Amino acid sequence: MAKKKASRGGAREGAGRPQENPEGRTVTLAASVPEGLVGELKAHAATQGWSVSRAVTEAIRAMLSRKKR
């Protein structure tokens, strides 16, 4: 008797959850920050409609772009 060819399973192109960040995967970063700054950061994130993670990311980007000048 001939073996049946597998017709299921395996990776498929385009399958899975779409990537949210066009820059690739994100990494969890732990940092100690003064309480006052955390409050200001959360308030700024809320006014922009951002998550705290996005607010931190944008702050880092701004700092690094100033450094390059």
Chain segment 6-56, per-residue pLDDT in tens: 667 778 888 888 877 788 888 999 999 999 999 999 999 999 999 999 999
Of residues 63, 42, 38, 62, the one with CA closest to residue 51: 42
Of residues 56, 58, 61, the one with CA closest to residue 41: 56
On the question of pLDDT at 66 being above 70, the answer is yes
State the Cα–Cα distance between residues 35 and 13, nearest whole angstrom: 45
Of residues 33, 26, 59, the one with CA closest to residue 44: 59
Residue 68: predicted pLDDT = 78
- Predicted TM-score (pTM) of the model is 0.66
Residue 18: predicted pLDDT = 80
Q: Which amino acid is at 12?
A: R
